[in-house]
Chain A
Amino acid sequence: MRRTALTLVLALACASAFADEGARNGEKLYRVYCTQCHGLQGNGKGINAAHLSVQPRDHTDTAEMSARTDDDLFKAIKEGGKAVNKSVLMPSWKANLSDEDVRALVAYLRELCCRK
Chain B
Amino acid sequence: MKSSANPFWTLLAALCVPLAAQAGAAEQAREQCAACHALDAPEPGTRNIDERLTRKAPPLYYAGNKFRREWLESWLRQPARIRPAGVFPPAHAKSTPLGDVIDESTLPAHVALPADEAAAMADFLMQLRPFDDRLAAVRYQPGTISLRMGQMNFSKFKGCDGCHRDAPDVGGVSGPELHSAWKRLQPQFIASFIADPTAWDPNTLMPRMELNDAEVARLADYLKALQEDGS
Contact = CB atoms under 8 A, between A and B. Distances in A.
Mostly, the B contact residues are mixed
B174 A96 contact: no
B100 A40 contact: yes
A40 B159 contact: no
A106 B229 CA distance: 44
Interface string B87-109: 00110011100111110000000
Contacts of B52: 32
A18 interface: no
B9 to A, nearest CB: 56
Contacts of A93: 207
B49 interface: yes
B204 A31 contact: no
A99 B3 CA distance: 69
Interface residues of A, number: 30
Contact of B171 (A35, A51, A89, A96): A51
B42 to A, nearest CB: 15
Interface residues of B, number: 33
What is the predominant secondary structure among interface residues of chain A facing chain B?
loop
A94 B210 CA distance: 10
Contact of B162 (A31, A43, A51, A94): A51
Contacts of B174: 36-37, 46-48
Interface string A27-50: 011011101110111010111111
Interface string B194-229: 001010000011011110000000000000000000
Given A45-B99, A93-B207, 13 more contacts: A35-B89, A36-B174, A40-B100, A45-B98, A45-B100, A47-B99, A47-B172, A48-B172, A49-B99, A52-B162, A92-B209, A95-B198, A95-B208
